[in-house]
Amino acid sequence: MIQLVNNEGRTAVVLTCDVCQKPIRDAALAMVRWRREDDNAEDSVIRDLTFCHKGECDGAMPGDRRGDPWWELRHFLARLLAAAGTTPGKLKTAMYDVGALRPAPECLHEDVGPTDNPPEDFVCFGCHTVFESELDVQRAQKQARMENDGEVLQSDDD
């Protein structure tokens, strides 16, 4: 379910798992399910949506819900945003408006390793940026360090 959580005067909105009641922090590792019989009814509006973590929480759902249709949560959210007229650009602006996106890249890409496929790609485990070669990694690290130094200088001037 969707909850508003007040934390030291700031209100946050969280989607909690209907099985374990804990917040869902990764939309790729969660899902939304609805009942098969609701899905089969023609012209029906389905209001009874169940949100849960994939894996253990989904597995803990009653056996008769196992065959229910489902979407990955991130795809559900994408469809919801699109239906509400939110383009990627508008979404980004709105995320900046509410402080959900910060003008990053404070990541210095120091924790970089190879991805599974293709083997020549590298990924930063800090910010999930993918690099095509080790040279790209070095370039990005240098760039990030320069930007970071620049920010430090600017704030010193104040």
Which residues contact Zn ion by CB under 5 A? 17, 19-20, 53, 57, 107, 109, 124, 126-127
* Closest separation in Å from C-beta 87 to Zn ion: 26
Which tokens hold the place of 19? 């099985």
* Closest separation in Å from C-beta 103 to Zn ion: 15
Which residue, 87 or 143, has its beta carbon nearer to Zn ion? 143
Strand order of the β-sheet with 50-53 is: 50-53, 30-33, 70-72
Which residue, 55 or 93, has its beta carbon nearer to Zn ion? 55
* Closest separation in Å from C-beta 69 to Zn ion: 19
Backbone angles phi, psi at 2, to 5 degrees: -90, 130
Which residue, 22 or 92, has its beta carbon nearer to Zn ion? 22
Under a CB-based contact definition with an 8 Å cutoff, are residues 49 and 27 in contact? no
Which residue, 81 or 108, has its beta carbon nearer to Zn ion? 108
Using CA atoms, how far apart are residues 136 and 86, in angstroms rounded to an integer? Answer: 33
Which residue, 93 or 115, has its beta carbon nearer to Zn ion? 115
* Closest separation in Å from C-beta 60 to Zn ion: 8
Using CA atoms, how far apart are residues 144 and 150, in angstroms rounded to an integer? Answer: 10
Under a CB-based contact definition with an 8 Å cutoff, are residues 144 and 105 in contact? yes
Using CA atoms, how far apart are residues 117 and 57, in angstroms rounded to an integer? Answer: 29
* Closest separation in Å from C-beta 128 to Zn ion: 7
Other CB atoms within 10 Å distance of the CB of residue 20? 13
